[in-house]
Amino acid sequence: MTTTRRRDAAATREAILRAGVEGFTRHGYDGVGVREIAQSAGVTAMLVNRYFGSKEGLFAEVVEASMADRTVLTDDPATLARDVAAALVRRTAPHADGLDPFLLMLRSAPNPRAAEILRAGIEKHVEAHLLDIAPELRGTDRAAMVLSLVAGFWLMRKMIGSTALNGADERTLARTLEQLFTLLMHPG
């Protein structure tokens, strides 16, 4: 056989993609290099371009993969506002350090080309999923407003490290957020 010993192409591609999700989410598009991502995947930088064409190509697949699997939003419209508020508070807790799509967005958005890829991914996956669960938001500005609030909360609590948000009681935080989400989702 002339096939490789240690890895096949599909596994290498997958390893690079996973390392890309981690690298871009933790450091943002401009904050991580292809060398660093390649090293996390156990390969050389050359293979990133080999399999994904360019750093931007890898980023596009990372956004697709990261936003395609749903983790934040539940599927029950009745308790949606409360569930989203609770999940948001839990996942932005001081000691939590998951790989959330909102962190990927916030940390990569300053790069204009990354921002365009992110906009497409957000609208195709996150916003579309929210409209599936809460169809009454369709045609209004309130779905986008929900996403704005979620993103802003992630920003202030985890990226800026707001003293007020990190010192606040989590039940109070969740209650305030629930009121805001309720206003957006059930304005009647």
Which residue in 102, 108, 15 sits closest to 67, CA to CA?
A: 102
Binding partner of 6, given DNA, a copy of itself, none, CB within 5-8 angstroms per partner class: DNA
- Indicate which single residue of 10, 95, 164, 188 sits in contact with a copy of itself (rule: CB under 8 A): 164
Q: Which is nearer to a copy of itself, 48 or 118 (CB)?
A: 118
6 binds DNA (CB under 7 A): yes
- Asked if 27 is part of the footprint of a copy of itself (rule: CB under 8 A), the reply reads yes
Among 56-64, 67-75, 93-101, 148-156, the segment contacting a copy of itself (CB under 8 A) = 148-156
Is the Cβ of residue 41 or residue 85 nearer to a copy of itself in the bound state? 85
- Residue in the block written with tokens 């390649």: 38
Per-residue contact track with a copy of itself, 50 to 89, x per CB under 8 A? ----------------------------------------
- Contacts to DNA from residues 9-38, by CB under 7 A: 9, 12, 32-36
Cβ(66)–Cβ(18) below 8 Å: no
Rounded distance between C-alpha atoms, residue 83 and residue 175, angstroms: 11
Burial class of residue 167, CB neighbours in 10 A (0-12, 13-18, 19+)? exposed
Site for a copy of itself in 117-136 (CB under 8 A): 118-119, 122-123, 127
C-alpha distances in angstroms, 2 versus 5, 8, 46, 168, 169? 9, 12, 21, 61, 61
**CA pair distance 109, 105, nearest whole angstrom:** 6
Task: Give, rounded to a whole angstrom, the gap between the first and last alpha carbons of the chain.
Answer: 69
Q: Is the dihedral of CA 14, 16, 19, 24 positive or negative?
A: negative
By the criterion CB under 8 A, which residues form the site for a copy of itself?
A: 27-28, 30-31, 105-111, 115-116, 118-119, 122-123, 127, 140-145, 147-153, 155-157, 159-165, 168-169, 172-173, 176-177, 179-180, 183-184, 187
By the criterion CB under 7 A, which residues form the site for DNA?
A: 3-4, 6-9, 12, 32-36, 43-47, 49-50, 54-56
